[in-house]
Amino acid sequence: MVGNTDGQASVVVATGLERTYGEGDTAVHALRGVSVQVAAGQLTAVMGPSGSGKSTLMHILAGLDKPTSGSVLIAGTEITTLGDDALTKLRREHIGFIFQFFNLLPMLTARENVVLPLTIAGEKPDPAYFDELIARVGLTDRLTHRPAELSGGQQQRVAIARALVSRPTVIFADEPTGNLDSRTSNEILHLMRSSVDDYGQTTVMVTHDARAAAMADRVLFLADGEIVKETGRTSQGEILQIIDSLDLQ
Amino acid sequence: MIRFALRGLLGRKLRTALTAIGVVLGVALVSGTFVLTDSISSAFDSIFTENYKNTDAAITGKAAFELSGDSAGTAPPFDQGLLAKVAELPEVGAAGGAVGGQAQLIGRDGKAVAFGGAPNLGFSVDPARPEFNTLTLVKGAWPTAGQVVIDTKTAEAKKFATGDTIGVQARGAVQRMQISGLVEFGAVSSIGGATLAGFDLPTAQQLFDKPGKLDQILLAAKDGVSTQQLVDAVQKILPAGTQVRSADDQAAEDAKGTSSFLTFFRTFLLVFGGIALFVGSFVIANSLSITIAQRTREFATLRTLGASRRQVLNSVVLEALLTGLVSAVAGLFLGLGIATGLFKIFDAAGLTLPNNGLVFRTRTVVVALAVGVVVTLLASLRPAWRATRVPPIAAVREGATLPPGRLHRFRPLGAALLAVAGVALVVSGLFVDGLSTGSLLSLLAIGVLLIFIGIALFSARLVRPLAAASDPVARWSVLVLSIVAWPLFSLPYWLLRRGFWGSGSTASRVGGLLLGAVLNPVLLVIVALMAVRRAVSSWQPEWPAEFPGVLSDRPAVGIGGQNSRRDPHRTASTAAALMIGLALVTLVATLGAGIIKPFEDAVDKIFSGDYAITAQNNFSPLPPTVAAAVAKVPGVDALSSVRGGQGRAFGETIQITGVDKQAPDVLRFDWKSGSQATLGELGADGAVVDADYADKHGLAVGSALPLETVAGKTLPLQVRGIFKPPAGGSPFGSVTISTSAFDATNPQPLDLYTFVSLRGGVTAANTAALQQALSTFPNAKALTREQFKKVQSDSIKSLLNVLYVLLALSVLVSLFGIVNTLVLTVFERTRELGMLRAIGLTRRQVKRMIRHESVITALIGAVIGILLGLGLALLLAARLDEISFAVPTGQLLLFAVVSVVVGIFAAIWPARRAARLDPLEALQYE
Ligand SMILES: Nc1ncnc2c1ncn2[C@@H]1O[C@H](COP(=O)(O)OP(=O)(O)OP(=O)(O)O)[C@@H](O)[C@H]1O
Ligand SMILES: [Mg+2]
- The pLDDT assigned to A161 comes to 93
- Residue-wise pLDDT tens digits, A71-91: 999 999 999 999 889 999 999
> How far is Cα B823 from Cα B570, in angstroms, rounded to an integer?
13
For chain B, the structural domain boundaries read 53-258, 474-552, 553-605+786-926, 621-778
Query: Is A23 among the domain residues?
Result: yes
On the question of pLDDT at A249 being above 50, the answer is no
Centroid of ligand 2 to alpha carbon of A55 (angstroms): 4
Q: Could A120 and B309 be called an inter-chain contact, meaning their C-beta atoms sit closer than 8 Å?
A: no
- Residue-wise pLDDT tens digits, A165-179: 999 999 999 989 888
Q: In a 3-state reduction of DSSP, which class is residue B784?
A: strand
Query: Is A55 among the domain residues?
Result: yes
Q: What is the CA angle A7-A10-A14, rounded to 5?
A: 125
Which amino acid makes up residue B683? G
User: B60-86 burial, b for 16+ CB within 10 Å, e for fewer?
Assistant: bbbbbbebeeeebbbbbbbebebbeeb
Lowest mean pLDDT among A73-77, B247-251, B312-316: B247-251
Ligand closest to the CA atom of residue A46 = 1
Contacts of A200 (CB under 8 A, 6+ apart): A40, A41
Pairing mode of beta strands A69-74, B165-169:
unpaired
Q: In a 3-state reduction of DSSP, which class is residue B60?
A: strand
Q: Are residues A68 and A47 in contact, defined by beta-carbon separation less than 8 angstroms?
A: no
> How far is Cα A13 from Cα A70, in angstroms, rounded to an integer?
11
- The pLDDT assigned to A97 comes to 92
End-to-end CA distance of chain A: 21
Which amino acid makes up residue B112? A
Q: Does the Cβ of A129 fall within 6 Å of ligand 1?
A: no
> How far is Cα B188 from Cα B45, in angstroms, rounded to an integer?
10
On the question of pLDDT at A151 being above 60, the answer is yes
| B131 secondary structure, DSSP code | G
pLDDT band at B926 (very low <50, low <70, confident <90, very high): very low
> How far is Cα A33 from Cα B121, in angstroms, rounded to an integer?
97
In this complex, the residue of A62, A88, A103 whose CB is nearest that of residue B297 is A103
Backbone angles phi, psi at A228, to 5 degrees: -105, -15
User: What residues have a C-beta under 5 A from ligand 2, the ion?
Assistant: A 55
Instruction: Please return the burial class of A8, using the count of CB atoms within 10 Å of its CB with bins 0-12, 13-18 and 19+.
Output: middle
- Residue-wise pLDDT tens digits, B623-649: 898 999 999 988 889 999 999 888 888
Using a CB-CB cut-off of 8 Å, the residues of chain A touching B311 are 120
Closest-CA residue to A35 (of A8, A69, A63, A76): A69
Closest-CA residue to B843 (of B852, B834, B831): B834
Q: In a 3-state reduction of DSSP, which class is residue B757?
A: strand
Ligand closest to the CA atom of residue A174 = 2
Among A17, A26, A28, A172, name the best residue to mutate to test ligand 1's pocket (greatest count of ligand atoms within 8 A of Cβ): A28
- Residue-wise pLDDT tens digits, A207-248: 988 989 999 999 999 999 999 999 999 899 999 988 888 764
Which amino acid makes up residue B610? D
- The pLDDT assigned to B399 comes to 63
Backbone angles phi, psi at A98, to 5 degrees: -125, 125
Q: Are residues B543 and B835 in contact, defined by beta-carbon separation less than 8 angstroms?
A: no
> How far is Cα B806 from Cα A177, in angstroms, rounded to an integer?
59
- The pLDDT assigned to B188 comes to 54
- Residue-wise pLDDT tens digits, B563-604: 888 888 889 989 999 999 999 999 999 988 888 888 888 888
- Residue-wise pLDDT tens digits, A95-137: 999 988 888 988 889 999 999 999 888 889 999 999 999 998 8
- Mean pLDDT computed over every residue of chain B: 85
Q: In a 3-state reduction of DSSP, which class is residue B308?
A: coil
Which amino acid makes up residue A63? G
> How far is Cα B793 from Cα B797, in angstroms, rounded to an integer?
6
Q: Are residues B83 and B234 in contact, defined by beta-carbon separation less than 8 angstroms?
A: no
> How far is Cα B36 from Cα A208, in angstroms, rounded to an integer?
71
Q: Are residues B593 and B876 in contact, defined by beta-carbon separation less than 8 angstroms?
A: no
B837: left (phi over 0), alpha (psi -120 to 50) or beta: alpha
Using a CB-CB cut-off of 8 Å, the residues of chain B touching A62 are 304
Contacts of B554 (CB under 8 A, 6+ apart): none
Q: Could B393 and A100 be called an inter-chain contact, meaning their C-beta atoms sit closer than 8 Å?
A: no
Q: Are residues B299 and B312 in contact, defined by beta-carbon separation less than 8 angstroms?
A: yes
Q: Could B305 and A162 be called an inter-chain contact, meaning their C-beta atoms sit closer than 8 Å?
A: yes
Contacts of B317 (CB under 8 A, 6+ apart): B377, B380, B381, B384
End-to-end CA distance of chain B: 25
Q: In a 3-state reduction of DSSP, which class is residue B21?
A: helix
Q: Are residues B52 and B220 in contact, defined by beta-carbon separation less than 8 angstroms?
A: no
On the question of pLDDT at B684 being above 50, the answer is yes
Residue B602: C-alpha distances to residues B608, B728, B756 (Å): 11, 5, 17
- The pLDDT assigned to A248 comes to 47
Q: Are residues B294 and B828 in contact, defined by beta-carbon separation less than 8 angstroms?
A: yes
Pairing mode of beta strands B704-709, B714-723:
antiparallel
| B712 secondary structure, DSSP code | S
Domain count, chain A: 1
Closest-CA residue to B607 (of B780, B762, B755): B755
Query: Is A109 among the domain residues?
Result: yes
- The pLDDT assigned to B433 comes to 77
Backbone angles phi, psi at B332, to 5 degrees: -55, -50
Residue with CA closest to ligand 1 atom 22: A55
Residue with CA closest to ligand 1 atom 27: A50
In this complex, the residue of B7, B301, B396 whose CB is nearest that of residue A174 is B396
- Residue-wise pLDDT tens digits, B695-731: 989 999 989 999 888 877 888 899 999 999 888 778 8
On the question of pLDDT at B250 being above 90, the answer is no
Contacts of B907 (CB under 8 A, 6+ apart): B818, B822, B847, B850, B851, B853, B854, B855
Among A31, A46, A54, name the best residue to mutate to test ligand 1's pocket (greatest count of ligand atoms within 8 A of Cβ): A54
> How far is Cα B72 from Cα B753, in angstroms, rounded to an integer?
12
Lowest mean pLDDT among A191-205, B500-514, B535-549, B815-829: B535-549
CA–CA min distance A89, chain B (Å): 7
Closest-CA residue to B854 (of B513, B579, B373, B467): B467
- Residue-wise pLDDT tens digits, B537-558: 887 776 656 777 777 778 888 8
Query: Is A1 among the domain residues?
Result: no
Query: Is A131 among the domain residues?
Result: yes
Helices B506-519 and B491-501: crossing angle in degrees, nearest 10, is 140
Centroid of ligand 1 to alpha carbon of A51 (angstroms): 5
Closest-CA residue to A48 (of A209, A238, A212, A218): A209
Count of other CB atoms within 10 angstroms of residue B670: 12
Q: Are residues A49 and A248 in contact, defined by beta-carbon separation less than 8 angstroms?
A: yes
pLDDT band at B350 (very low <50, low <70, confident <90, very high): low
Q: Does the Cβ of A207 fall within 6 Å of ligand 1?
A: no
Report cis status (omega within 30 of 0) of the bond before B544. yes
Mean pLDDT on B359-372: 90
- The pLDDT assigned to A5 comes to 43
> How far is Cα B33 from Cα B272, in angstroms, rounded to an integer?
10
Q: Are residues B705 and B735 in contact, defined by beta-carbon separation less than 8 angstroms?
A: yes
The count of CB pairs under 8 A between chains A and B is: 66
| B306 secondary structure, DSSP code | T
Q: Are residues B104 and B170 in contact, defined by beta-carbon separation less than 8 angstroms?
A: yes
Q: How much is the ipTM here?
A: 0.90
Q: Is B390 within 8 Å of chain A by CB?
A: no
SS3 assignment for A41-68: CCEEEEECCCCCCHHHHHHHHCCCCCCC
Whole-structure pTM value: 0.82
Backbone angles phi, psi at B336, to 5 degrees: -60, -45
Q: Could B926 and A101 be called an inter-chain contact, meaning their C-beta atoms sit closer than 8 Å?
A: yes
Q: Which domain holds residue A79?
A: 10-246
> How far is Cα B690 from Cα B299, in angstroms, rounded to an integer?
69
SS3 assignment for chain A: CECCCCCCCEEEEEEEEEEEECCHHHCEEEEEEEEEEEECCCEEEEECCCCCCHHHHHHHHCCCCCCCEEEEEECCEECCCCCHHHHHHHHHHHEEEECCCCCCCCCCCHHHHHHHHHHHHCCCCCHHHHHHHHHHHCCHHHCCCCHHHCCHHHHHHHHHHHHHHCCCCEEEEECCCCCCCHHHHHHHHHHHHHHHHHHCCEEEEECCCHHHHCCCCEEEEEECCEEEEEEECCCHHHHHHHHHHCCCC
CA–CA min distance A63, chain B (Å): 9
> How far is Cα A184 from Cα B326, in angstroms, rounded to an integer?
44
- The pLDDT assigned to B190 comes to 55
The CATH number covering residue A35 comes to: 3.40.50.300
- The pLDDT assigned to B147 comes to 92
CA–CA min distance A234, chain B (Å): 29
Q: What is the CA angle B312-B318-B321, rounded to 5?
A: 150
- The pLDDT assigned to A1 comes to 37
